[in-house]
Amino acid sequence: MSSSVGGVTPEASTVYLISEAHAYLKAAALRAVAQLGVADHLGDEPRPVEELAEATGTNAAFLHRALRLLSTNGIFRQEDDGRFSLTPLGQGLRTDSRYSARWGVVMSTMHTHWSSAFELGHSLRTGQPSFPALFGERYFDHVAGNAEAGAEFHGGMGSFSGAARRLALDEYDFPATGTVVDVGGGTGGFLRDILLENPGLRGVLFDQAHVLPGERPRDVAAERWSEISGDFFVEVPADGDLYVLSYITHDWSDDECVRILRNCRKAMAPGARIAVFDAVVEPGNEPDDAKLLDLVMMMLVTGKERTADEFGRIFDQAGLRLSRIVPADGPLSVVEAVAV
């Protein structure tokens, strides 16, 4: 009979820890079914695994085992007769779901991310991301110079951030008129959403030349949309009334953020605001997506997820003042700053 600590025996502790270590297999199974498009073959009715295997070109017995696991965390559900269905929480895996998670799941678990996570000990020892040590270049240089990685990253990014940004968008009051500059706006999905809901705004999509889509969304009028390529460490487009930075500051160290924010500060029209859409790390021990995403930043890039105080400090150094934090019903908040 073992002694217990806080009511937990040594055996129970070990069993728990080994189970936690196996948690990566849930991500692996999720990646596999997302890649294979299994959810696209599940509609309103549960289906036998043999039909799903036939439709996805997979081995029925093995698919059964993966779906059985994913039915333990509420993504799929195995009925009493053995057929599988997609739960309401699993619906986002379908390619046709609004803000589909499918390519975001694939991007979040892509080979380079997975390998960097495997080497997280390197980051803890050196205080540096593991990605450059493994792949010989910085993460964004790799994404820029490698067509396949670029397609997987930029294709996945819209899916990765779309739903979270949507939830934050609902909470934030955009200016009624003027110009919104989406700094590092990627392929423009967020700017499109902002313009569709704020008909008095014009939009400037700013990113590196190879990332810009080169055509405006069909549902946005030509006079409301422009694209400018450049490097936000050099300058950002001038005279904006609102500078949106969505999932940007978390990619960069404090010093790098200060350079980007100073460039926004220089470019801002009088009375303009900066709206950072990023996670805010909260104190305490509750489950917090920000703390997961923070390790993604640790292993890939020089950035991190920040607390409110940490945001305040980088704004101060850039000649800005944190004016308010607008929390959303999701992993993102809007951290707003104005010129001092």
Ligand X SMILES: C[S@@+](CC[C@H](N)C(=O)[O-])C[C@H]1O[C@@H](n2cnc3c(N)ncnc32)[C@H](O)[C@@H]1O
Per CB under 6 A, residues contacting ligand X are 140, 157, 161, 184-186, 190, 207-208, 211, 231-233, 246-248, 251
The token pair that represents 290 in the structure block: 């920000």
- Give the C-alpha separation, 336 to 338, whole Å: 7
On whether the CB atoms of residues 137 and 300 are closer than 8 A, the answer is: no
What are the two backbone dihedrals, phi and then psi, of residue 165, each rounded to the nearest 5 degrees?
-65, -35
As a whole number of angstroms, the distance between CA 298 and CA 128 comes to 7
Q: Which is nearer to ligand X, 5 or 292 (CB)?
A: 292
Residue nearest to ligand X (CB): 184
Q: Considering the complex, what minimum distance in angstroms separates the CB of residue 252 from ligand X?
A: 9
Q: Is 250 tagged catalytic?
A: yes
Residue number with CB closer to ligand X (99 or 315): 99
Cα separation, 337 vs 329, in Å, equals 21
Q: Name the nearest CA neighbour of 108 among 30, 169, 38.
A: 30
**DSSP codes joined into one string, 234-286:** T---SS-SEEEEES-GGGS-HHHHHHHHHHHHHHPPTT-EEEEEE-BPPSSSS
Going 55 to 59 to 62 to 64, the CA torsion angle's sign is positive
178-183 vs 242-246, strand pairing mode: parallel
Nearer to ligand X, 52 or 251 (CB): 251
Cα separation, 66 vs 29, in Å, equals: 6
Beta bridge partners of 320: 339
Closest to ligand X by CB, 38 or 275: 275
Residue with smaller CB distance to ligand X, 89 or 209: 209
Q: Look at the alpha carbons of 304, 307, 310, 316 in this order and tell me if their dihedral is positive or negative.
A: positive
One-character DSSP codes across 7-23: TB-HHHHHHHHHHHHTT
Whole-number minimum distance, CB 282 to ligand X, in Å? 21
Q: Which residues, 6+ apart, have CB-to-CB distance to 61 below 8 Å?
A: none
In this structure, what token pair is assigned to residue 326? Answer: 């607008």
Q: Report in angstroms how near the CB of residue 76 gets to ligand X at its nearest.
A: 28
Q: Residue 66 has which token pair?
A: 């993966």
CB of 66 to ligand X, least distance (A): 29
**Least Cβ distance, residue 150 to ligand X (angstroms):** 9
Smallest distance, Å, CB 198 to ligand X?
17
Which residue numbers are catalytic? Answer: 250
